[in-house]
Structures are given as structure tokens and as C-alpha cells.
Amino acid sequence: MSLPEPYACLEAQLNAADRDARLAAVRALAAGLASGAIPPVEKTIEVNNHVHTVYSFSPHSPCSAAWHALRAGLLAVGIMDHDTVAGVEEMLAAGKILGIATTAGFEIRTNFSGTPFAGRIINGPGMPNLVYLSIHGIPAGKLARCQEFLRPFRQARNARNAAMLDRLNILLRKQDLPAIDFQRDVYEKSTAAEEGTISERHILAALSDKLIGVYGLGERLVEFLEGTLGIGLAARARGYLLDTANSHYRYDLIGVLKAFYTDAFFIQPDETECPNVREALAFSEEIGAISAYCYLGDVTESPTGDKKAEKFEDDFLDELMPYLRGLGFRAVTYMPPRNTRPQLERIRAKCDEYGFMQISGVDINSSRQTFNCPEILDPLFANLITATWALIGHEKLSTIATGSGLFGERAVAACPLLADRLALYARIGRALNPHAPAGITPEAATLAAPVLG
């Protein structure tokens, strides 16, 4: 829904370079909502726990993510950047201003060395031995500790980023294309100076800008991709890139290059960048967060266009799930739009069999993606909405008192069955006031009494 002026200009300011300017825009937009100058939107019961921001790679700042989630009718939104929590405080502040509940986490690649699955492709596209792991429900007082833990992995990642760019520039020189400067074209276009993460997508964004600068939008660029680079474009992607009026052009091009060209210069991450899975799990327990294995499932066609058809963990899921349980994973996260119905029914059954909390969200990292996920409204996924509110309750209680989270001793003693615990923490989460996240309402305090003591 388009906004009346001057609010449309304020919406554009949500992605300003300065954090204070972004928050000022949120306050002005919230005032517009309160006054009725901005028409309200119909609320849904939808939630999304896995939104990337500019602190890793996304068209959205944390303020923009909170605002667009609110305007999509969502009741809760979760920030989930790669290797950083630099955007969490902004997301929490924007949620407080707007009155949308928030959750905080980060995503990290871990290595599976020393496990029976070492060396296999598990849930990392093209990355044997590596597993994406999400840390959800981070207590507000543990953000500095998270950055301390993640900082060396970002530094190692940047060393690999620079080496990959050197490889890419060799290829560009062979094609008489302009080189990419790491400082100017990558680092300064990221939030690395604010402890954000530079990912492969930042390099691909710089490459996309160079290609658009040389070939323009449309037919000449498509000819280069298909002819010179030998990329077999799917009909949908080809149509997007032939459309010179496509407002998502840059992100569509990034998606194609990520799926079909990254291998030309990619360097596999090593164990200096990707901690052992046991180290990451131990860290999650240390800070009172909730570790989640990111189920990918065999891919036929990616909804974001950045994953080619590839086999992942489906063939050995029966062996993997009990092993994850033994390692100490607390949850499994999956995304209903990404998988087939049989895949979803299978992973849900496995989660129930091995006692995993189930968490969901759609990883927003392209302007083409919307914040709405109609699939989550299916009664089959009602537990995923409950899980989001349980995460919110978990974060609040874990912030108030160490050890009072979903998997803490007092919680387990009060509610031995995970389903009962999730229901209790969800009631606590729903009883909180998103406009006053630092406090706890009387209703929430009463519900939490068995856990807080």
C-alpha cells in the first residue's frame, strides 16, 4: 500500500546511511499511524523470525524490516543476520516504537569435522562439511558477548572475501571488464565498519553493478550471461532480466550470479571462519539462547532464484536427526515456502520424534520477496506461530533472570513436556507489551511466576 506524502519520503529514509536518521523516520511514521494520517493495515496472525538486514545482506535496514513487517500485517518479526548481531539493538528500538514484537538471533556456518557426516553436503549449497546453524532467542544482555564471539569469524571471512575478489578480478580482466575494488565497491557498500558482515552477495552486488554499467539492462546483458558466461537462464529469470522496467533488476541479477557463477571464483570457507558445531552449540548454551539446525531439503527450484537444483540432507535425514539431538541442538528451523509438502510433513514428524522445537521464518534478502508467508496460515503450521511467541517470552525471561529460558532447569521442572513449555512461554510472549519491551506486564509476570520463582 503506497503512502501519502510526506510519509512516502519518510519511508525511503528507513534505509538512510545513518542509524539515528532511520530511527527518526520510524518515529515520524509511527506518529502518522497514531494520528490516522497513514491508513492502517489489516493485522494477520503471521510472524517471521528470519529476516536478514543490511548488517549482512538485504534491501532492508532493521528499521525498514520492522516497518515493512508491520505494514504486511505481521505481529512479530525476527532479525537473523549472518555472523553478526550489529543490527539487533536497532531492530528492538524500531519494534518498540512501532509496537511490533521482535526476536533476535544470528546465523553462522559451522564445520562438522569429527562427526559421521564430515565431508558431506548437508545444508550448505556447494559446501561440503559445513552446516548452517541459527541461534535464536538471544537475551538482550548478551549482545556484546555475541559480537565478541563472532568477531574473529568475520575477520577470517573478510580475508577470504578479499581472496575471492582477487580471483574474480582475474576473470574480469580476461573479459575486458573493469575490476572491482574491495574497499570502494564492497567494503564501503556494506556495514562492515559497524561490525556488519560482508558476504558473497556483496561481491556479487559489486559485480552486478559493473555488468549493468557496461551492458545496461536487458538484451545485451542477457546475451553476455548466456553467451560469454554460459549461464542457462530459466525462463522466469530470463524474463526478469529482459525487462528493463523491472524494479527488482539488481537483486534478480545477483540471484542468478549467486546460483550459476559464484563457483567460478568461490573459495571454500575453512575452520578459522566456521567454528566446529560443538563450539557453536556450547556458545548458544552459554548465553541462554536456542540453537537450531537449518533444514534445507533437496532443492528443485529456489523461490529467490539463488539456489540451483541440488541434493542436501533428505537422503540421510533418518540418521542425521538423532545425531543432531545427541549433539545438543534444541530446535530445527525450516521455511514452508521453500519445501514441498512431503518434505515439510517429514521434517515435522522427525522434529516430533526427537523432541525438537520447530521454528520458522523466510530469509528476506531480496527486494522481490514479501514479508507475508501465506503458507504459515495453514493449520498444519499453527505450531510455528506458537513457537514465535514462545521465543519472545523466552527472550524476555532470559533477560530478566539467567537460566529462565525455555530450556532452563526451572522451566523444565515446571513443564517437563516441550509442548506444554512452548504453550506457556507463548502465552507469556503474547502478554507482553511490544511498546514497552523492557518491562513485564502483570499478566506476563503471573504466567512466568513458576519459572522466575
Tell whether the model's pLDDT for residue 197 goes beyond 70: yes
For cell 558476504, what's the residue?
A: 199
Q: Does position 229 have pLDDT exceeding 50, yes or no?
A: yes
Name the grid cell of 168: 574474480
- In this prediction, residue 306 carries a pLDDT of 45
Hey, how many other C-beta atoms are within 10 angstroms of the C-beta on 90?
24
Query: What does the pLDDT look like over 426-445, one tens digit per residue?
Result: 999 999 999 998 889 999 99
The model carries a pTM of: 0.94
Q: Are strands 357-360 and 331-334 parallel, antiparallel or unpaired?
A: parallel
Using alpha carbons, select from 284, 417, 404 the residue that is nearest to residue 357: 417
CA of residue 59 relative to chain centroid, distance:
12
Contact (CB, 8 A) for 180 and 214: no
Q: Respond yes or no on whether the N-terminal peptide bond of residue 6 is cis (omega within 30° of 0).
A: yes
pLDDT, residue 362, reads: 85
* Dihedral pair phi/psi, residue 235, rounded to 5°: -55, -40
pLDDT attached to residue 5 = 83
Average pLDDT over residues 230-248: 96
Q: Are 240 and 249 in contact (CB under 8 A)?
A: yes
Residue 372 has pLDDT above 80, yes or no: yes
Q: What is the mean pLDDT of residues 250-274?
A: 96
pLDDT computed for residue 303 by the predictor: 47
Is 372:44 a contact under the CB 8 Å cutoff?
A: yes
Report pLDDT for 304: 45
How far apart (Å, rounded) are the C-alpha atoms in residues 105 and 103?
7
pLDDT given at position 309: 77
For 130, the enclosing helix (H) or strand (E) is strand 130-136
User: What's the confidence (pLDDT) of residue 418?
Assistant: 97
Query: What cell does 400 get?
Result: 530478566
Concatenating the DSSP letter of every residue in 295-325 gives ----BSS-TTS---SB--GGGGHHHHHHHHH
Across the chain, mean pLDDT equals 94
pLDDT at residue 373 in the model: 84
CA distance linking residue 83 with residue 186, whole number of Å: 17
Res. 377 pLDDT band, cuts 50 70 90: confident
Region 58-67: mean pLDDT is 97
Produce one character per residue of 203-233: b if its CB has 16 or more CB atoms within 10 Å, e if not: bbbbbbbbbeeebebeeebbebbeeeeebeb
pLDDT for residue 438: 83
Lowest mean pLDDT among 245-254, 332-341, 390-399: 332-341
Q: How far apart are CA 395 and CA 406, in angstroms?
A: 9
259: exposed, middle or buried (Cβ count in 10 Å: 0-12, 13-18, 19+): buried
CA dist., res. 37 & res. 17, Å (int): 26
The predicted-structure confidence for 280-327, as pLDDT tens digits, reads as follows 999 999 999 999 999 999 987 554 444 567 899 999 999 999 999 999
Which whole number is the average pLDDT over 34-40? 93
Q: How far apart are CA 288 and CA 39, in angstroms?
A: 40
> pLDDT over 70 for what percent of the chain?
98
Residue 384 pLDDT greater than 60, yes or no: yes
Spatial distance between the Cα atoms of 241 and 293, rounded to a whole number of angstroms:
34
Mean pLDDT (whole number) for 72-101: 97
Q: What is the mean pLDDT of residues 119-138?
A: 95
Q: Tens digits of per-residue pLDDT, 18-28? A: 999 999 999 99
C-alpha cell recorded at residue 33: 499511524
39, pLDDT greater than 80: yes
Q: Residue 308: what pLDDT?
A: 64
- DSSP-derived letter for residue 227 is I
Which phi and psi angles does 301 have, rounded to 5°?
-140, 130
What is the per-residue pLDDT for 300?
74
Q: Residue 148: is it exposed, middle or buried by C-beta count within 10 angstroms (0-12/13-18/19+)?
A: exposed
pLDDT value for 110: 98
**130 phi and psi angles, rounded to 5 deg:** -110, 145
Q: In this predicted structure, what is the pLDDT of residue 315?
A: 96
Question: What pLDDT shows up at residue 328?
Answer: 98
Indicate the helix (H) or strand (E) that contains 111. Answer: strand 101-111
